[in-house]
Amino acid sequence: MPAFAESVLFGALQLGFWGAVLVCAVGATVLAVRRHSTPDPALRAPDPVFWDVFMGSAVAIPAILIPTLASPWAGAVLAALGTGAGVAAYRGSPRIMAWQSRRRQQRQDQPVHTAAQAEHDALLSRWSRYELDPACSIDYPAMTDVRLPETAALIRAMREAEQLRAAPHQGYAPAVARFGLALAAAERAAGIPAGITDGVH
C-alpha cells in the first residue's frame, strides 16, 4: 500500500511538472506567433514565426510524449491541457499584447514626461512671481486679470498641463509647450519686455 501511494504521488508530481512545462510552452508560443503575425506588411516576419513554432514544439511535444510512455491516460490529459492552454492564450493574447504595448509606450514616454515636468516647474515658478511678488503684481496687473483674452488663455493652458501631469500621458509635453507659449503671449500683451522675463523667474 505505501508503495502504491508513493507511485501515485510520483505520478501526480510528474504530471504536474510536465503540465506546467506544456502550458508555459504553448502559451508562450501562441503569444509569440500572434505578435509576429501582425497584419502590417512592414512588420510581418515569417522566419520568426517558423522558429516560434519550432521552438515551442520542441518543448511541448516531449512534454506530452514522455508522460505518455509511462501512462497513456497522462498523455491524454496533457494533450487536453495543452489544447486548453493554446485556446486561452489565443483568446487572451490581444489583451496581453495591448498591455505590453502600453508598457513599452510608457517606458518610451517617461524621459519626455520627466523633461516636461522640469519645464512645467520652471513655467509655474515664472508665473507664480506675478501672483506672489507684490512688486510684480503692482507693475504687471494684467498678468492676473483673467478678463484679458491672453491671460484667460494662459490660465486655461496652465490648468490643462496640470491635469495631464499626474501620470505619463502623450498629451502632457504638448500641453506644457502650449502653457509656455500662452505665458509668453500674456507677458507680451502685458507689456513685459523680453529681457525682464528672464529675471522674473
Are residues 177 and 122 in contact, defined by beta-carbon separation less than 8 angstroms?
no
Task: State the pLDDT at residue 201.
Answer: 44
- Taking only the tens of pLDDT, the chain with its 201 residues reads 455 555 556 567 777 787 788 888 888 888 788 777 765 554 455 567 777 777 777 778 887 887 777 777 777 888 888 888 888 887 877 787 777 777 777 777 788 888 999 999 999 999 999 988 888 888 899 998 999 999 999 999 999 999 998 766 778 999 999 999 999 999 999 888 776 565 554
Task: State the pLDDT at residue 119.
Answer: 95
Say if residue 169 is exposed, middle or buried (CB neighbours under 10 Å; 0-12, 13-18, 19+): middle
Q: What is the dihedral of CA 131, 144, 201, 120, to 10 degrees?
A: 100
Task: State the pLDDT at residue 71.
Answer: 75
Amino acid at site 129: R
Task: State the pLDDT at residue 48.
Answer: 74
Amino acid at site 187: E
Distance CA 22, CA 14 (A): 12
Task: State the pLDDT at residue 1.
Answer: 45
3-state secondary structure of 166: coil
Residue spans per domain, the chain: 2-105, 108-200
Task: State the pLDDT at residue 80.
Answer: 85
3-state secondary structure of 77: helix
Cβ-based neighbours of 130, under 8 Å, separated by 6 or more = 136, 137, 140, 143, 144, 200
**Cell triple for 39:** 497584419
